[in-house]
């Protein structure tokens, strides 16, 4: 079997598509918590401020670095160093997602509780899955690989989000959640048949090393605080907008669930695929630094279209443009951000370092939703989505601290191939 480091780069590596396909089941629980559950709550006339409060269920994605060292230090007796953990979490998610259909949506604490359980299992799956990808991909494969991973991830989001919302127009919500849970069976099959990284990475020699060494290595980097701030804030405006799109369409504009779900599944999916593939190709052509700047501007300014949609009372060309362009720009931004994170992550501590950085991503996503519902009730949907455009500026300021707009790359940020011995 060829070493991935020496195998064809770009989109010509067949095994890169199997790696990317693992992101499909990885996205399902996130879509359930961020998209389908809010739509379920909105369909039962739960007020916007309570739906925004539900964003707290995403806390495990922000705190997953706390138990990530366990996955660096220990592995299960099957599935290699990473895949065994992934498969166990996928089985747990099958049951947890299916259980949602048996919960009363008016019982806020119980809904938040099941959301936290799903988020915990999902965050643990992400820890192992992301570490596997870091160990598997060479530097040349990171841009295309992360764009493909983002593509499959967004497809998973749209299937468990848009398709599920559309299905709820003709099926009971209980049946919808059971079907989403059953989709995790595909994840188990994909994970079980995936290949192991050829270059074996040594585990930390002790649990203490697994906790301390990854953090010491990261914060010993040049501009570490600026990088951390960038990861936290890069998608702030996008996350604020995402938390309120379902209430905008379903409650404020009265868009039928079937129409919205179909749009997200077709237009959104197509735009995501095109956007992420263009993003992956652009990273190699423009350089990662310049691509991050362009993607950041794009994902922030596209929210103007949501404001215009609210102002026009759901004028369909504006609504369709907002959904399509948001999906494309969000995919580009995520592909660029994941490529940066992958590039600065050391393979030996991949679970902990990648979890630490993606936890910062999750922290921005989680807390962006909490004030969003209250902000909508205070100023209305049109001003709210204009405010989210300004939410993109803090992340770009942090980016300017380590990558100038004219720079192709951020020099000196690449991690060692295997980490210290």
Q: What is the pLDDT of residues 142-171, one digit of tens each?
A: 878 888 888 888 788 878 887 888 888 889
In a domain, 411, yes or no: no
Domain count, the chain: 1
CATH of the domain at 225: 1.20.1250.20
CB 201 within 8 A of CB 137: no
Where do we find the tokens 């991050």? Answer: 292
In a domain, 332, yes or no: yes
Residue 81 has pLDDT above 90, yes or no: no
The backbone torsions φ and ψ at residue 255, rounded to the nearest 5 degrees and listed phi first, read -70, 130
Measured between alpha carbons, how far is 367 from 415 in angstroms, rounded to an integer?
29
In a domain, 418, yes or no: no
Confidence at residue 190, expressed as pLDDT on a 0 to 100 scale: 93
In a domain, 1, yes or no: no
In a domain, 360, yes or no: yes
Contact partners, residue 38, CB within 8 Å, separation at least 6: 51, 54, 243, 246, 247
Q: For residues 17-36, give the mean pLDDT.
A: 90
In a domain, 29, yes or no: yes
* Alpha-helix runs per DSSP H in 302-410: 304-311, 316-344, 350-379, 381-390, 393-400
Of 70, 179, 201, 181, nearest to 133 by C-alpha is 201
Of 100, 395, 113, nearest to 240 by C-alpha is 395
Confidence at residue 419, expressed as pLDDT on a 0 to 100 scale: 41
Q: Which residue has the higher pLDDT, 178 or 242?
A: 178
Measured between alpha carbons, how far is 245 from 48 in angstroms, rounded to an integer?
11
Q: Give the three-state DSSP class for 93.
A: helix
Say what the pTM is.
0.74
In a domain, 419, yes or no: no
In a domain, 3, yes or no: no
The per-residue pLDDT of the chain, averaged, comes to: 84
H-helix or E-strand spanning residue 210: helix 207-219
Measured between alpha carbons, how far is 408 from 167 in angstroms, rounded to an integer?
44
Residue 114 domain boundaries: 10-400
Confidence at residue 7, expressed as pLDDT on a 0 to 100 scale: 43
Q: For residues 345-359, give the mean pLDDT.
A: 85
The backbone torsions φ and ψ at residue 345, rounded to the nearest 5 degrees and listed phi first, read -95, 130
Measured between alpha carbons, how far is 93 from 25 in angstroms, rounded to an integer?
10
Q: For residues 240-258, give the mean pLDDT.
A: 86
């Amino acid at each position: 079997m060829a070493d991935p480091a020496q195998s064809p780069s770009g989109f010509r590596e067949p095994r890169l598509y199997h790696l990317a396909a693992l992101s499909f089941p990885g996205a399902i629980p996130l879509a359930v918590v961020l998209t389908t559950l809010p739509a379920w709550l909105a369909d039962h006339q739960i007020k916007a401020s309570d739906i925004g409060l539900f964003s707290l269920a995403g806390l495990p994605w922000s705190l997953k670095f706390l138990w990530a060292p366990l996955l660096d230090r220990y592995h299960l007796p099957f599935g290699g160093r990473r895949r065994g953990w992934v498969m166990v979490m996928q089985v747990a998610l099958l049951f947890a997602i299916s259980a949602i259909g048996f919960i009363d949506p008016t019982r806020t604490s119980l809904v938040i509780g099941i959301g936290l359980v799903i988020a915990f299992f999902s965050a643990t799956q992400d820890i192992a899955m992301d570490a596997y990808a870091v160990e598997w991909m060479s530097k040349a494969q990171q841009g295309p690989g992360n764009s493909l991973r983002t593509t499959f991830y967004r497809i998973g989001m749209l299937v468990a989000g848009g398709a599920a919302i559309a299905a709820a127009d003709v099926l009971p919500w209980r049946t919808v959640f059971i079907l989403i849970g059953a989709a995790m069976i595909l994840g188990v099959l994909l994970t079980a048949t995936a290949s192991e990284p050829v270059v074996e990475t040594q585990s930390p020699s002790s649990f203490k090393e697994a906790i301390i060494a990854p953090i010491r290595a990261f914060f010993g980097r040049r501009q570490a605080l600026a990088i951390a701030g960038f990861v936290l804030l890069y998608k702030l405006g996008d996350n604020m907008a995402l938390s309120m799109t379902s209430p905008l369409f379903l409650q404020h504009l009265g868009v039928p669930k079937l129409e919205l779900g179909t749009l997200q599944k077709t237009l959104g999916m197509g735009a995501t695929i095109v956007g992420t593939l263009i993003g992956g190709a652009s990273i190699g052509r423009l350089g990662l630094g310049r691509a991050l700047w362009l993607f950041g501007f794009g994902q922030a300014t596209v929210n103007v279209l949501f404001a215009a949609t609210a102002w026009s009372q759901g004028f369909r060309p504006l609504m369709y443009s907002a959904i399509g362009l948001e999906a494309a720009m969000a995919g580009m931004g995520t592909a660029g951000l994941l490529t940066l994170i992958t590039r600065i992550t050391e393979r030996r501590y991949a679970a902990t370092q990648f979890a630490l950085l993606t936890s910062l991503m999750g922290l921005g996503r989680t807390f962006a939703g909490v004030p969003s519902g209250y902000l909508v009730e205070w100023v209305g949907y049109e001003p709210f989505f204009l405010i989210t455009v300004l939410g993109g500026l803090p992340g770009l300021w942090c980016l300017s601290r380590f990558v100038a707009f004219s720079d192709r790359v951020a020099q000196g940020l690449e991690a060692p191939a295997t980490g210290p011995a």
